[in-house]
């Protein structure tokens, strides 16, 4: 059978643009909500006499989207493995864009009472549902059209959508907040910002969705899928085959992603809450302004993007597994010292330098661990269940990592009035990921053209993701 690495019909530019633009839009929409969940929604949708209670309620709705993501993975995974990658990628972009736009016009609690947070929850679930199908489709478009020996490099293109989307979303929020400052206290959002300014980033997503749809409609279906279709390998129920033949890969993939999710949402949502919380509050934070802290995050996210791009060629050179084992070990070590970096010092400038260092280190590690995932998770599965398998693993992990991380971190911080338990939480997630990687085989040289589990067995290739080589 001809190699998909040599016969792909999409030009490199088209592949890069389609996988990068789409995920940038999806992550932009997701991050716009994440920022608003800290800055706006506790006040406008979850009013409470207790700031921590309001923040936890906002994070609970934020986390609800992660529960919807596996549902989206099942629906879009089935569609992607039955009908093809292109159509699924186009369809998955619409719910995210529509939900994000509607959040921008949503009445607040003061206007319609408890209906407001309920509608926000529905729209947030829609966002999660859409993102559940987005990532895997973009990763498959990139890797199934990659030249030989460059799957991890091409797999980083959809991953770069995360830092780019973060920078655009938070840069826009930062600009609007600076243009509408509070007249008396820089730690507070102004009436204009709370009234209408926060809505602009949500409404702006409509323009980005139109651009994304135009790019994706120009795609040609991947050769890997069309070859599997010609050979009669497409399954009526890909989900059934995924859990029948590849349940080990699903479990391992879920835990391989765990540390990545926990690290990312601690570096974004939790640190933003902690950094902008009053230093004399309960629990005590760092008392930084929103503008200052988000600017620090944006600087650090540049390193996220750089090292995401670095991780691809590195994983192609030495392997995905070895790259991730070393990175996960570094995440565990970083987690144990993170609270020291986040501790308020007598000298405010020294505190700022320490926090900036923590953010840069954390996002650098995020790039190194997130970059190879675009290749590793799809490589665990054959073509006819690749969309479903990688989507389910990626999004099941979102429940364990992304959905719970901000809530657990805020609860631990509030209970101990310290970030040390938060560091231990991240270290524990890192240990689970490290174990999953030890149990996983290297996928760098796996046959990406195999259409089904039968093809792998016929080639005398181990079809399990369990490690078949000595540990590094």
pLDDT, tens digit (0-9, with 9 covering 90-100), for 116-174: 989 999 998 998 888 888 888 888 888 888 888 899 999 999 999 989 998 998 888 88
* Helix axes 383-398 and 115-144, enclosed angle (nearest 10): 140
pLDDT in tens, 377-425: 999 998 888 989 999 999 889 888 877 888 899 889 989 988 999 999 9
Residue 466 bridge partners (DSSP): 440
Whether the per-residue pLDDT at 434 is higher than 80: the answer is: yes
Looking at residue 347, its pLDDT comes to 84
Residues ≥6 apart with Cβ < 8 Å to 468: 441, 462
Buried b (16+ CB within 10 A) or exposed e, 248-281: ebbebbbbbbbbbbbbbbbbbbbbbbbbbbeeee
Within a 10 A sphere around the Cβ of 50, how many other Cβ atoms? 10
Whether the per-residue pLDDT at 304 is higher than 90: the answer is: yes
Tell me the C-alpha distance between 200 and 121, whole Å: 20
pLDDT in tens, 398-407: 888 877 888 8
How big is the CA angle at 308 (ends 303 and 311), to the nearest 5 degrees?
A: 120
pTM recorded for the entire structure: 0.83
Give the chain's domains with CATH numbers.
4-458 (1.20.1250.20)
Residues ≥6 apart with Cβ < 8 Å to 419: 274, 338, 339, 342, 343, 413
Which band of pLDDT confidence, cut at 50, 70 and 90, is reported for residue 460? Answer: very low
Residues ≥6 apart with Cβ < 8 Å to 451: 224, 227, 228, 231, 233, 382, 383, 384
Whether the per-residue pLDDT at 369 is higher than 90: the answer is: yes
DSSP codes of every residue in 5-53:
HHH--S-HHHHHHHHHHHHHHHHHHHHHHHHHHHHTHHHHTS--SSHHH
Q: At 346, which helix (H) or strand (E)? A: none
* Highest-scoring range by mean pLDDT, 38-47, 207-216, 264-273: 264-273
Tell me the C-alpha distance between 260 and 330, whole Å: 12
């Amino acid at each position: 059978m001809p190699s998909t690495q040599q016969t792909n019909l999409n030009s490199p530019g088209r592949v890069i643009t389609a996988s990068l633009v789409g995920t940038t839009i999806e992550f932009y929409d997701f991050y716009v909500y994440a920022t608003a969940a800290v800055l706006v929604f506790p006040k406008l949708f979850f009013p409470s006499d207790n700031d921590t209670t309001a923040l936890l309620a906002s994070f609970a709705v934020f986390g609800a989207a992660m529960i919807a993501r596996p549902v989206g993975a099942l629906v879009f995974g089935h569609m992607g493995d039955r009908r093809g990658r292109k159509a699924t990628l186009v369809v998955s972009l619409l719910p995210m864009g529509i939900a994000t736009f509607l959040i921008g016009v949503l009445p607040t609690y003061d206007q319609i009472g408890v209906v407001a947070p309920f509608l926000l929850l529905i729209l947030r679930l829609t966002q999660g549902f859409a993102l559940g199908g987005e990532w895997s489709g973009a990763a498959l478009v990139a890797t199934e059209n990659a030249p030989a020996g460059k799957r991890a490099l091409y797999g980083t293109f959809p991953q770069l959508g995360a830092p780019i989307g973060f920078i655009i979303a938070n840069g826009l929020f930062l600009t609007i907040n600076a243009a509408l400052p509070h007249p008396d206290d820089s730690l507070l959002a102004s009436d204009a910002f709370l009234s209408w300014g926060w809505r602009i980033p949500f409404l702006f997503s409509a323009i980005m969705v139109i651009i994304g749809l135009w790019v994706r409609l120009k795609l040609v279906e991947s050769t890997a899928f069309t070859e599997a279709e010609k050979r009669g390998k497409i399954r009526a129920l890909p989900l059934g085959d995924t859990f029948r033949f590849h349940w080990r890969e699903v479990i391992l993939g879920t835990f391989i992603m765990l540390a990545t999710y926990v690290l990312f949402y601690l570096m974004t949502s939790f640190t933003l809450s902690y950094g902008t919380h009053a230093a004399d509050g309960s629990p005590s934070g760092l008392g930084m302004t929103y503008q200052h802290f988000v600017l620090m995050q944006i600087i650090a996210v540049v390193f996220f993007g750089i090292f995401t791009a670095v991780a691809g060629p590195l994983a192609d050179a030495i392997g995905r597994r070895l790259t991730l084992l070393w990175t996960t070990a570094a995440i565990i070590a970083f987690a144990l010292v993170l609270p020291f970096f986040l501790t308020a010092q007598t000298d405010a400038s020294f505190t700022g330098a320490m926090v900036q260092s923590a953010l840069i280190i954390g996002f650098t590690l995020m790039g190194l661990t997130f970059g190879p995932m675009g290749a590793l998770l799809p490589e665990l599965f054959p073509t006819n269940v690749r969309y479903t398998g990688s989507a389910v693993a990626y999004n099941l992990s979102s429940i364990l990592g992304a959905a719970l991380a901000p809530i657990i971190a805020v609860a631990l911080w509030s209970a101990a009035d310290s970030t040390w338990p938060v560091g231990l939480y991240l270290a524990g997630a890192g240990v689970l990921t490290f174990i999953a990687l030890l149990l996983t085989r290297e996928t760098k040289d796996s046959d990406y053209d195999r259409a089904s589990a039968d093809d792998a067995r016929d080639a005398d290739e181990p079809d399990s993701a369990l490690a078949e080589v000595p540990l590094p």
